[in-house]
Amino acid sequence: MAVQEISEKELKVRWNETGSREAVLFYTPLCGTCKLAERMLNIVLEAGGTIPVSKININYALDLTQDWKISSVPALIIFQAGSLIQKEYAIRSVVELQQWLKL
């Protein structure tokens, strides 16, 4: 299982409708650190036992970037039922990601 791309519109719908925890990675295509963060996320997802994770290009999510005050990429946002639970900019390790994303 790999991290799937999502649009800002889809993310807004999920934000308002989902009752379960989800995560989204904000990235830019030319960001090397973002690519590394996505690779680590894919490793965590392959291991299983995690909440759903999507990714969104920050260049196409200007409303959410302003609403959630995202100041840099990569940014991992964890939300549940319309509430921001966690916002992380420093994605240091697979182990750390597993802790944040466990069911």
Residue 32 pLDDT: 96
Question: How many distinct structural domains can be found in the chain?
Answer: 1
pLDDT in tens, 8-60: 999 888 887 767 889 999 999 999 999 999 999 999 999 998 999 999 999 99
Residue owning tokens 């196409």: 60
Give helix then strand counts, H and E, for the chain: 4, 5
Q: For residue 76, with 0-12 CB atoms within 10 Å meaning exposed, 13-18 middle and 19 or more buried, which class applies?
A: buried
Q: What domain range is 24 assigned to?
A: 4-101
Residue 100 pLDDT: 94
Model confidence, pTM: 0.92
Residue 60, domain CATH:
3.40.30.10
